[in-house]
Amino acid sequence: MLALFIKKALQDIRENRFLNAITVVTIGLSILIVSSFSLFFINTNALLNSWKQGIRVLVYLKTDANDANRLDLRYQLQQMEDIQELTFISKETALERLKSQMRNQSALLENLKNNPLPDAFEIRIVDGSRELKQVAILAEKIKTFPQVAEVEYGQHFIARFSHIINIFKFVGYALGGLFFVATLFIIANTIRLVLYSRREEIEIMRLVGATDRFITAPFYIEGLILSATGAMLGLIGLFTAYQLILSKFQSSLALTSIEVQFLTIVQIVIFIGISMLVGLTGCFLSLKQFLKN
Amino acid sequence: MKADDNALIRMFRVSKHYASKPALINITLDIFRNEFVFFSGPSGAGKSTLLKILYLGENITEGQVLIDGMNLARIPLNRAHVLRRKIGIIFQDYKLIPGKTVYQNIALVLEAKGLSQRFVQKKVHSVLRTVGMEDRKKSFPLSLSGGEQQKIAIARAMVGEPKIILADEPTGSLDVDAAENVYGLLTAYHERGATILFATHDKDLIRNTKHRVIFLNHGRIQS
């Protein structure tokens, strides 16, 4: 029976080639847009997480802090649970680092009479305490020590980046919802048009003793085929765009530690599955309304 | 309503109204197993309405209808197939699906029952042989003459071997030869044990018949 339903569904798709092609392309575009946002979100989130993993807190000492103050602070920091590793960076070392980072412009620093950089402790945080909120609490605690002038952990940059990701996340959700409704509407309408064009045939089928299940099953299969094909088309489009962009920026990305990833097999299956579910729902809505009449 | 074992179809005080216009009025009627009954009368007499009621194409306004022990009022629309599989229906306008071949049109009845393709193939070929249309199995309905289309419609009605055939003006749009052919096919099927309800306004067809003829006029049985 299933083979017969599939045969009928494929026959229907062939008979309404144009309408079905438009449906598949529209679903494909919807999936392409939603999956693009997802891919962007997944990669930026991964990037943010990798930054969080490597997060380092710099504790700048006051300029008037002496060796005793420094040792005292080191002792107090070592007592803190969230701190995994503690490295002292003298102001001389800091200046050397700055010079090496500035490379070509290092000459600018040659004429300095005094080293303006403060002594600092570089802190590595233990796993499980690297969430931004936890780091902020730790930083506030360290700031209360009298020897400390400033605590820096890239909070402004991370906060801004997180904010941008959140905006993209929101837009992604909104677009996802919009395209969910659009795909549902497109599938429902396609099936409705096919049903309308075949209403006489369906009436005859009923008169010769066909059950509603027998009549509707090929339409559900048609909806599944259209939505799955549309989803695959959209994902192929996304993969092509991903490859093109990656090849263009490969040399620049090689210099950084940023690793851009495509969707995993599980995520691809989820996209196709959601699309098929939307296809089924669209069919259900159309068929329910049609059979009621 | 008293049970009569030999009555296949029982209509008791059946009325049907379209808005306020009556189409059938107080029809009480028994049709027996293996009976061939003509329903005759002018256009608008209620012949088609009566047949439609029997295949659940229309609901009755009043009364009760039993077919093979099934009370039609108790059959919900989504169970209509249970009744329709016991009935073969033939229409004046054939009601063949234009996009399907002759073979596919007939096979549909058996496919809907979930029968195997092998059985369907065998059965469709057999019924096409019976109506003399085996060589047209790949043709599409619109490429056939009216008489040929009606033969296909008869083949479709017979393929499921129903106990009852409802024929609504099956010869209405055919020439004399084709009409006789259709009548011959239905007679042959009746001789195999089926009950045939044949609605017609063709007086020539019923003039010398040995079968029961029920005249309808303005929705009432006249004799």
- The CATH number linked to A71 is 3.30.70.3040
Which CATH topology does B34-48+75-215 take?
Rossmann fold (3.40.50)
Are A163 and A265 found together in one domain? yes
**Whether residue A199 is found in the same domain as residue A223:** yes
Same domain, A172 and A275: yes
Mean pLDDT by 10 residues, chain A (293 residues): 85 85 90 90 82 81 87 88 87 82 69 82 83 83 90 81 83 86 86 86 90 91 93 96 87 68 94 93 90 74
The rounded radius of gyration (Å) of the Cα atoms in chain B is 17
Q: Could you give the C-alpha distances from A65 to A119, A149, A153, B223, in angstroms and in order?
A: 9, 10, 21, 123
pLDDT for residue A163? 85
Q: Cβ of A211 and B95 within 8 Å?
A: no
Question: Are both A25 and A170 inside the same structural domain?
Answer: yes
Cβ contact A216:A287 at 8 Å: yes
pLDDT tens per residue across span B30-87: 999 999 999 999 988 999 999 999 999 999 999 999 999 999 999 988 899 999 999 9
CA distance A219 to chain B (A): 15
pLDDT at B4 over 60: no
Domains held by chain A: number: 2
Q: Note the pLDDT of residue A84.
A: 84
Query: Which ipTM value was assigned to this complex?
Result: 0.87
Cβ contact B108–A210 (<8 Å): yes
DSSP A200: H
Considering A98, A118, A152, which residue would you say is the last residue of a domain?
Answer: A152
Residue B5 is predicted with a pLDDT of 67
> What does the pLDDT average to over B184-208?
92
Q: Are residues A46 and A178 in the same domain?
A: yes
What's the rounded mean pLDDT across residues B200-214? 89
Q: Where in chain B are the domains?
A: 34-48+75-215
Q: Evaluate whether A123 touches A88 at the Cβ level (below 8 Å).
A: no
Supply the range of the domain harboring residue A147.
56-152
Q: How far apart are CA B135 and CA B132, in angstroms?
A: 8
A262 at interface of B, judged by CB pairs closer than 8 A: no
**Residue B221 pairs with which residues in a beta bridge?**
B216
A-B CB pairs within 8 A amount to: 45
Q: Which of A1, A4, A209 sits opposite B81 (nearest CB)?
A: A209
What is the spatial distance between Cα A42 and Cα A260, in angstroms, rounded to a whole number? 9
Is residue B140 pLDDT above 80, yes or no? yes
CB B92 within 8 A of CB B172: yes
Contact between chains at A204 and B95 (C-beta distance less than 8 A) = yes
- On whether both A173 and A121 belong to a single domain, the answer is no
Cβ contacts (< 8 Å) between B112 and chain A: which residues? Answer: 205, 208-211, 214
CA dist., res. A248 & res. A264, Å (int) = 22
CB A210 within 8 A of CB B112: yes
Q: Does A8 touch chain B (CB under 8 A)?
A: no
Q: What is the dihedral of CA A233, A234, A238, A244, to 10 degrees?
A: 50
Q: Taking residues B196-210, what's their average pLDDT? A: 89
Tell whether A143 and A277 lie within a shared domain: no
Task: Name the minimum distance, in Å, from the CA of A7 to any CA of chain B.
Answer: 13
Q: Are residues A168 and A200 in the same domain?
A: yes
The reply to whether residue B85 touches residue A204, judged by beta carbons under 8 angstroms, is no
Domain boundary among A152, A176, A208: A152
Q: Is there a single domain that holds both residue A195 and residue A132?
A: no
Domain edge (last residue) among A121, A152, A183? A152
Same domain, A230 and A89: no
- Residue B3 clears pLDDT 60, i.e. is over it: no
**SS3 (DSSP) at A85:** strand
Contact of A201 with chain B, judged by CB distance below 8 Å, is answered with: yes
Q: A40 and A76 share a domain?
A: no
Closest partner CB to B156 (pick from A200, A208, A210) = A208
Structure-token pair, residue B37: 């009954």
Residues A45 and A141 in one domain: no
